[in-house]
Amino acid sequence: MIILDLLLLNILVLCAIAAIRVRDLLSAVIIFSAYSLLMAIIWLQLGSPDVAITEAAVGAGVTTMLFIATISKTRRYE
């Protein structure tokens, strides 16, 4: 059990660092969505299924869709 917790924590930290360091906004949104899903799994491991469902719905679902809609309204410069 502790191995799973440490693995989730390491992946969570890697997602956070990758979301900050990546230069493409769409990639950052996708990584942020993965971060939110990992947080939902961690909340479930901690015994809070209501918080986990809310995190998955709002963090990974609604927020990701709003970010993608916002990015689609902007122009991409290279």
Q: Are 71 and 25 in contact (CB under 8 A)?
A: yes
The SS3 assignment for 45 reads: helix
Going by C-alpha positions, the residue among 7, 32, 60, 68 that lies closest to residue 52 is 60
Q: pLDDT band at residue 59, thresholds of 50, 70 and 90?
A: confident
For the stretch 7-48, pLDDT in tens is 999 999 999 999 999 999 999 999 999 999 999 999 999 999
Task: For residues 17 and 12, give the distance between their C-alpha atoms in angstroms, rounded to a whole number.
Answer: 9
Note the pLDDT of residue 76. 73
Going by C-alpha positions, the residue among 65, 64, 21 that lies closest to residue 39 is 64
Domain residue extents for the chain: 2-72
